[in-house]
């Protein structure tokens, strides 16, 4: 039996992970499950999986969690510090599936314990960059990429040498608004932006997918996970989301990973690594799909990938600033406070007006994140 902890258990990735655990309950012991405010759903999962610890990040929700788990013998706690304490508990796999930079401190706590982390929480790696990769090295931790593109690249690199890589190509679906004109994009509603054609995901990443910030964040994520150099990372739009990414080697061979658009596939790849496990996903029906198409990203209508590449090139604090401003802008868009096309404007303006020194520690990253959020929020209010 292997042990597993899931941070962000009530979300889209968390739920898919638990579906895989349900497939063979005798194979897994669930140690920790966490949520932000959704104490009711967390309590139900905690009872179902008979976990050791259940944690709500928002301390105000602790009384509800405590009531719901009274008499169960499950330890309950709440707040940011409790989340980090739970992340420091040793498990065979720690799934990092909290959304946003809010997941960074628990991920770092798990890394400092030398744990194996299945990382979905891309914002944490984008924000902390070198601080996180240095911690992974220093503490002998293992990062396994859950993001479908990075998981694909990870698989395509097995048996290959980094110095032999000519290109790493991240595929992008282009999101639900891919073919929209600039004028239509300006009027896009939250409901239209989250209606992803291929993937069923949480609201924040769905908006990121529509703006292409998701691909921008993934470019920075790939830069840290696969250090081949930024100039060897490129993006191609592939609306069918069948090829999840590709690696081209110097001899002209391109290896691609294909699969259904279901996060259970890359999650299973991490849970079973270095082996394989079954998933309930339908096999790929290539004849049924028929055609795979590819397009160059349009960075005039979707400037996010350009902004992300510039932030990655600038390095230092820039990716953390980009991420924080994007989180603030996406929340404002989902609240109906700004237009869809203003998300990239808020990010670009925050980057242009705030260039703190490079972070050397986790505390530095958190301070940059806090400052960048305050600046982006102030920008929203002044508009």
Q: What residue number has its CB nearest to ligand NDP?
A: 11
Report how far Cα 276 is from the mean position of its chain's Cα atoms: 22
Give the Å distances, CA to CA, from 278 to 14, 29, 264. 18, 18, 10
Cα→Cα distances 19→10, 98, 201, Å: 12, 17, 15
Question: Is-contact 263 12, C-beta < 8 A?
Answer: yes
Q: How far is the CB of 180 from ligand NDP (least distance, A)?
A: 22
Residue among 48 and 164 whose Cβ is closer to ligand NDP:
48
Q: Compute the least distance from the CB of residue 123 to ligand NDP, in Å.
A: 5
CB nearer ligand NDP, residue 136 or residue 248:
136
Closer of 4 and 248 to ligand NDP (Cβ): 4
Cα distance between residue 240 and residue 198, in whole Å: 7
Of 248 and 321, nearer to ligand NDP (C-beta) is 321
* Helical axes 203-211 vs 342-353, angle rounded to 10°: 90
Opening angle at CA 114, ends 113 and 119, nearest 5: 100
- The nearest distance, CB 157 to ligand NDP, in angstroms, is 19
Which residues, listed in sequence order, are joined to residue 234 by a DSSP beta bridge? 169
**What is the total residue count of the chain?**
383
Instruction: For ligand NDP, give the closer residue by CB, 122 or 238.
Output: 122
Q: Which is nearer to ligand NDP, 115 or 206 (CB)?
A: 206
Token duo for residue 13? 């990735």
CB of 182: closest distance to ligand NDP in angstroms?
26
**Closer residue to ligand NDP, CB minimum distance, 11 or 319:** 11
291: CB partners within 8 A, 6+ apart: 240
Angle at 349 between CA 346 and CA 353, to 5 degrees: 140
CB 257 within 8 A of CB 243: yes
Q: How far is the CB of 251 from ligand NDP (least distance, A)?
A: 31
Binding site for ligand NDP (CB under 6 A): 8-14, 35-38, 57, 97-99, 102, 120-123, 147, 199, 201-202, 204-205, 263
Q: Closest separation between CB of residue 205 and ligand NDP, Å? A: 4
Q: How far is the CB of 64 from ligand NDP (least distance, A)?
A: 11
Beginning with the edge strand found earlier in the chain, give each strand of the sheet holding 165-172 in spatial order: 233-237, 165-172, 243-249, 254-258
Distance between CA 321 and CA 123 in Å, rounded?
Answer: 11
Cβ 328 to ligand NDP shortest distance, Å: 13
Pick the closer one to ligand NDP by CB: 248 or 270.
270
**Cα–chain center distance at 186:** 26
Peptide bond into 363 cis (omega under 30): no
- Tell me the closest approach of the beta carbon of residue 311 to ligand NDP, in angstroms: 17
Q: Smallest distance, Å, CB 321 to ligand NDP?
A: 18
Strands 254-258, 243-249: parallel, antiparallel or unpaired by DSSP? antiparallel
Cα separation, 107 vs 365, in Å, equals 13
Nearer to ligand NDP, 106 or 248 (CB): 106
Give the integer Cα–Cα distance in Å for 275 and 8.
Answer: 25
Nearer CB in complex with ligand NDP: 57/346:
57
Secondary structure (3-state) at 255 = strand
For residue 229, give every residue at least 6 positions away whose Cβ sits within 8 Å of its Cβ, in sequence order, or none. Answer: none
């Amino acid at each position: 039996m292997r042990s597993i902890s899931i941070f962000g258990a009530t979300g889209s990735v968390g739920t898919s992970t638990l579906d895989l655990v349900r497939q063979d309950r005798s194979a897994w012991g669930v140690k920790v499950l966490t949520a932000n405010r959704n104490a009711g759903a967390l309590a139900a999962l905690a009872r179902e999986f008979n976990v050791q610890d259940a944690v709500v990040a928002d301390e105000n929700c602790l009384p509800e969690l405590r009531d719901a788990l009274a008499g169960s013998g499950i330890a309950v706690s709440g707040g940011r510090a409790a989340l980090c304490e739970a992340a420091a508990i040793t498990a065979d796999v720690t799934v990092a599936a909290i959304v946003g930079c809010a997941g960074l401190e628990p991920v770092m706590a798990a890394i400092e314990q030398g744990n194996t982390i299945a990382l979905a929480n891309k914002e944490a790696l984008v924000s902390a960059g070198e601080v996180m990769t240095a911690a992974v090295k220093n503490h002998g931790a293992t990062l396994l990429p859950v993001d479908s593109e990075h998981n694909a690249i990870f698989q395509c690199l097995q048996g290959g040498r980094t110095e032999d890589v000519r290109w790493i190509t991240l595929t992008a679906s282009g999101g639900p608004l891919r073919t929209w004109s600039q004028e239509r994009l300006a009027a896009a509603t939250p409901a239209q932006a989250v209606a992803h054609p291929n993937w069923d995901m949480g609201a924040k990443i769905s908006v990121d997918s529509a703006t292409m910030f998701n691909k921008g964040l993934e470019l920075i994520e790939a830069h840290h996970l696969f250090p081949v150099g930024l100039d060897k990372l490129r993006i191609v739009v592939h609306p069918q989301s069948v090829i999840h990414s590709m690696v081209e080697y110097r001899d002209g061979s391109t290896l691609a990973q294909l699969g259904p658009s279901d996060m259970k596939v890359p999650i299973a790849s991490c849970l079973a690594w270095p082996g394989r496990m079954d998933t309930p996903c339908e096999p790929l029906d290539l004849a049924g799909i028929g055609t795979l198409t590819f397009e160059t990203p349009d960075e005039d209508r979707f400037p996010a990938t350009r902004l992300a590449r510039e932030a990655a090139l600038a390095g230092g604090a820039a990716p953390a600033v980009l991420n924080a401003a994007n989180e603030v802008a996406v929340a404002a868009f989902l609240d109906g406070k700004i237009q869809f096309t203003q998300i990239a404007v808020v990010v670009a303006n925050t980057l242009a007006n705030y260039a703190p020194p490079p972070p050397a520690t986790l505390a530095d990253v958190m301070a940059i994140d806090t400052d960048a959020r305050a600046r982006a929020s102030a920008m929203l209010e002044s508009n």
